[in-house]
Amino acid sequence: MTNSNRIALITGVSVGGTGLATAVALSKAGWTVYAGARRPETLSDLEGLHLLKLDVTDEASIQTAIQTIRAHGHSVDVLVNNAAYGEMGTVEEVPIARIRQQFETNVFGLVRMCQLVLPMMRQNGWGRIINVSSMGGEFTTPFAGFYHATKYAVESLSDALRIEVEQFGVDVVVVQPGGINTPLAQQTVDAIPSEENSPYAAQLSAFRQFSQQMSSMFDQIAVLPERVAEVIVSAIQADKPLTRYKVLVQDMSSVNFTRNAADRERDNGLRQQFGLIAP
């Protein structure tokens, strides 16, 4: 089949983000692209893209999006599970409703999308699922425990799914970006809580200062969403894709340390890096 005969569905498409960059790149490569967004009205005038209202935490929204694609006479050949965000805060203090929302978006929404497109892929005898995870799916930092937990879940589920569906000609690929220079990255920093009455107030303040310093350097240290999109498109179009693609930031030293150090050594390194109070 030519690219123009292949149908791709991308979740989490928003202005300035990886989803939009991927949608545009795939469309330019000749694919028919359905771009799923919670607010498609913000993505007007994008030539060549089929915009869908799609909230991966809403079953009715997901069903309607799939039905719309089927009504156009299409089935989904490629699913890019890109919808995600980062919940910041301490394990003790983040409200349980926000924790559930984090998992609904980053994990359960991803799983539900897979469940609904796989029958089409099995029928066609070919398919590709791209799960956008994170380097944070291999290590954990304080005050982002729930975000990391969702990415660990994505990694594990992808490993299981890959083996289950390979018999049907379906590939499952994980893409692990480092920091991405998008509006969402700054919004995540801005969402770090600042409760003065919190027993963690001093640590949260230090973490916020560190995060703000890093965000001010994003132009130098983070990857552009277009670079992540380039990797995703490469994984989609490869004859035999890798199981994982890492999209590296410029300085990998702290990432590698956090991933590979012994627990106590890593804890001490993170305290020093974030300026946290030692016990």
277 is a domain residue: no
Separation of alpha carbons 201 and 195, rounded Å: 6
201 is a domain residue: no
* Digit-coded pLDDT (tens) for 127-177: 999 999 998 999 899 999 999 999 999 999 999 999 999 999 999 999 999
The predicted pLDDT at position 22 comes to 97
Options 134, 151, 152, 211, the catalytic residue: 151
Q: How many residues does the chain have?
A: 279
Q: State the amino acid at position 177 in one-letter form.
A: P
Domain with 16 in it: 3-182+224-264
Higher confidence at residue 235 or residue 207?
Answer: 235
How much is the pTM?
Answer: 0.90
The predicted pLDDT at position 181 comes to 73
270 is a domain residue: no
Is a pLDDT exceeding 60 seen at residue 252?
no
Options 27, 34, 134, 147, the catalytic residue: 147
209 is a domain residue: no
187 is a domain residue: no
| C-beta separation of 26 from 33 below 8 A | yes
Rg over alpha carbons for the chain, rounded to the nearest Å, is 19
| Residue whose entry in the numeric block shows the structure tokens 């963690």 | 200
How many structural domains is the chain composed of?
1
25 is a domain residue: yes
Is a pLDDT exceeding 80 seen at residue 31?
yes
Higher confidence at residue 263 or residue 115?
Answer: 115
Is a pLDDT exceeding 90 seen at residue 211?
no
- CB atoms < 10 A from the CB of 86, how many? 21
Options 27, 133, 158, 211, the catalytic residue: 133
CATH number, domain with residue 231: 3.40.50.720
* Residue 118: half-sphere exposure toward Cβ, Cα within 13 Å: 16
Catalytic site includes residue 133? yes
217 is a domain residue: no
* Digit-coded pLDDT (tens) for 87-137: 999 999 999 999 999 999 999 999 999 999 999 999 999 999 999 999 899
215 is a domain residue: no
Separation of alpha carbons 126 and 201, rounded Å: 51
Task: For the chain, give the percent of residues with pLDDT over 70.
Answer: 90
Task: For the chain, give the percent of residues with pLDDT over 90.
Answer: 65
Catalytic site includes residue 254? no
The predicted pLDDT at position 251 comes to 54
The predicted pLDDT at position 196 comes to 75
pLDDT interval class at 179 (50, 70, 90): confident
